[in-house]
Chains A and B, each alone.
Chain A
Amino acid sequence: MPYSAEISRTNPSCILFLLDQSGSMQDDLPGEAGRKKADSLATVINRLLQNLVLKCAKSEGVRDYYHIGIIGYGGKVAPAFAGALAGREVVPISEIANSPARIEERSRKIDDGAGGLVNQTIKFPVWFDAVAKGGTPMCQALSTAERVLQGWLNQHPDCYPPIVINITDGESTDGNPEQPAQNLREMRSSDGPVLLFNIHISSTQSTPVEFPASPDELPDEYARVLFKLSSVLPDQMRGMAEQDGKRVHPGARGFVFNADMVSLINFLDIGTRVADSNLR
């Protein structure tokens, strides 16, 4: 059965993020003046990395169940870790844990238990900084992912298949991404094909379309292109999405169109949580 490999320190899994850093990511999130898409995405990614570190952290240290890569694409296509990890394409989670670019103190409001709110200061490690400049060279990003994973799969041929998560707010500006996406999805480990998921961040206030099973559920041609780029959700992930209250039909793709930050976070949680039950 595919997508059933155990993930362990000797057989880690790889998660690769492809993050749109084009100029339009400077725009505000729809309906949220002052909150830029790029900044919100950076917060979401940094929080996700923190959660992955905590998931792997044990009493003796951080177990390298995952190796993670972040590739930004905008004015250039390049690895996007900041600080000591700058330039690194794929990094074991223990190194990520020990090398945040910085640890910020951020304030959040929490319930004071008496009907009010108080400010709480929390530590917020940062590995990735928001950038928003240039076009959307998605084809080059997908080809870069293919090259990176070729190296990864040579070293880990029996891994739980790598997961590539592409987050974009617009159309590719360097050609039709269907072929490079297909090349990526045709790569495989002994446990199954690489998974390519796509999340489109909305520029208008619209209802997200989550995990569509048919292109007919989508509002326009661009959405249907991204649909075609996306892998079908493995059964285990489909089960998790259903457990979270989503209606996810057989054949549903790992794809969200017109995502807001909430659906982005939920999707990323499902896309990376699958490994939990396989963690050894």
Chain B
Amino acid sequence: MQIKSQVAWLPKAGNAPDEYEDAFWPEHDIACSAQAFSFAVADGATEASFSGIWARLLTRAWCRGWFGDKRIDQALPKLQQEWLQAVSTRPLPWYAQMKLEKGAFATLLGLHLRSTGDGRGAWHAMSVGDCLLVQVRDGRLLRSFPLDDDTQFTSNPRLIGSRPELVGNAKQARLSTSGEWSAGDRFYLLSDAIAAWTLREAGKGAEPWDLLDTTLQEGDFPLFIRHLRSRQEIRNDDVTVKRIELA
């Protein structure tokens, strides 16, 4: 299958780029041919510290296949260790140490695509929390996962935590689904603020994916998001859009 993917992102208004706590993998645009490929998006919880680092580790781990049933029991503790090492490189003030002990949290959405030949294939996805997968065919919404309505977004999504005792919670919170794709299909992996906007627009009969495509193509994603924020059409939060097109 021929895969093209682009990503656009923007931190919350009022925050600097290095304060952005979403993550995505791969971290660069893709244009290649492959039998199989994985993508992921994650959203680090603002209340926790070092959540951006945790979100990034999760997206990379998904794309390495670490979240399958057989592997997750070993994989998560390894990731948790890796996170702890990454954030413990220097002595920390008392509050940073306390925050560290509470751990980091993030939502995660992973998509794995594989080709079955002749411009067709299968996909499966896993979600913990409220990042959204959208599949579009011929301009129409074919699937959205794990939510299908913008009213379903809450301020308390399920999260994957970086503390060892939370492995069970993560396993319990996982949702999975699968489907098929055909050449020409588009997939979007969206973090929650832009996901809610997308579902709301789709619910009104609009085709928000076309707008997203235009902004990605024209390179004015930041302007587009600022416009939505100024009209209060989107919550002020980190925004991530990963677009995938298959041929």
CB <8 Å contact, A54 and B14: no
Given A97-B95, A280-B236, verify A58-B14 contact (CB < 8 Å): no
Interface residues of A in 172-196 (CB under 8 A from B): none
CB <8 Å contact, B93 and A54: no
Which of A2-10, A30-38, A209-217, A263-271 lies at the binding interface? A2-10
Which of B45-53, B77-85, B138-146, B207-215 lies at the binding interface? B45-53
When chains A and B are docked, how far (Å) is the Cα of A62 from the Cα of B87? 16
Interface residues of B in 89-107 (CB under 8 A from A): 93-96, 98-99, 102
User: Does B118 reach chain A (CB closer than 8 Å)?
Assistant: no
Find A60's partner among B19, B87, B98, B102 (CB 8 Å cutoff).
Answer: B19
CB <8 Å contact, A123 and B94: yes
Tell me the smallest distance from the CB of B52 to a CB of chain A, in Å: 7
What sequence of 0s and 1s flags, for each residue 45-67 of chain A, a beta carbon within 8 Å of any chain B beta carbon?
Answer: 00000100111011110100000
What sequence of 0s and 1s flags, for each residue 62-86 of chain A, a beta carbon within 8 Å of any chain B beta carbon?
Answer: 1000000000000000000000000
Given A8-B14, A53-B95, A54-B95, verify A59-B155 contact (CB < 8 Å): no
Given A55-B47, A280-B14, verify A123-B98 contact (CB < 8 Å): yes
CB <8 Å contact, B19 and A57: no
User: Does A103 reach chain B (CB closer than 8 Å)?
Assistant: yes
Query: What are the residues of chain A within 8 A of B52 when measuring CB–CB?
Result: 59
Residue of A nearest to B237 (CB): A280
CB <8 Å contact, A54 and B94: no
User: Does B31 reach chain A (CB closer than 8 Å)?
Assistant: no
Given A277-B155, A280-B12, verify A97-B93 contact (CB < 8 Å): yes
Find A57's partner among B53, B96, B155 (CB 8 Å cutoff).
Answer: B96
User: Does B173 reach chain A (CB closer than 8 Å)?
Assistant: no
Tell me the smallest distance from the CB of A180 to a CB of chain B, in Å: 35
Query: What are the residues of chain B within 8 A of A98 when measuring CB–CB?
Result: 93
Name the interface size band of chain A. 20 to 34
Residue of A nearest to B87 (CB): A59
CB <8 Å contact, B49 and A58: yes
Find A58's partner among B19, B93, B236 (CB 8 Å cutoff).
Answer: B19
Q: Which of B46, B95, B102 has the most CB of A within 10 A?
A: B95
Interface size on B, residues (CB 8 A): 22
User: Does B122 reach chain A (CB closer than 8 Å)?
Assistant: no
Query: What are the residues of chain B within 8 A of A279 when measuring CB–CB?
Result: 46
User: Does B36 reach chain A (CB closer than 8 Å)?
Assistant: no
CB <8 Å contact, A9 and B14: yes
Query: What are the residues of chain A within 8 A of B155 when measuring CB–CB?
Result: 277
Query: What are the residues of chain B within 8 A of A58 when measuring CB–CB?
Result: 19, 49
When chains A and B are docked, how far (Å) is the Cα of A103 from the Cα of B93? 12
When chains A and B are docked, how far (Å) is the Cα of A60 from the Cα of B93? 11
When chains A and B are docked, how far (Å) is the Cα of A6 from the Cα of B102? 26
Residue of A nearest to B15 (CB): A280
Interface residues of B in 132-155 (CB under 8 A from A): 155
Query: What are the residues of chain B within 8 A of A123 when measuring CB–CB?
Result: 94, 98
CB <8 Å contact, A62 and B95: yes
When chains A and B are docked, how far (Å) is the Cα of A9 from the Cα of B95? 19
User: Does B13 reach chain A (CB closer than 8 Å)?
Assistant: yes
When chains A and B are docked, how far (Å) is the Cα of A98 from the Cα of B47? 19
Tell me the smallest distance from the CB of B188 to a CB of chain A, in Å: 26
Given A8-B14, A9-B14, A280-B13, verify A54-B236 contact (CB < 8 Å): no
When chains A and B are docked, how far (Å) is the Cα of A103 from the Cα of B97? 13
List 7 tightest A-B contacts by C-beta distance, closest first. A280-B14, A57-B95, A8-B14, A53-B95, A59-B50, A57-B99, A97-B95
Which residues of A pack against B, CB within 8 Å?
6, 8-10, 50, 53-55, 57-60, 62, 97-98, 100, 103, 123, 125, 277, 279-280
Name 16 A/B residue pairs within 8 A (Cβ), A-sorted. Answer: A6-B14, A8-B14, A54-B95, A54-B99, A54-B102, A59-B50, A59-B87, A97-B93, A98-B93, A103-B94, A123-B94, A277-B155, A279-B46, A280-B12, A280-B13, A280-B14
- Given A54-B98, A123-B98, 5 other A-B contacts at CB below 8 A? A50-B95, A50-B98, A57-B49, A62-B95, A98-B93
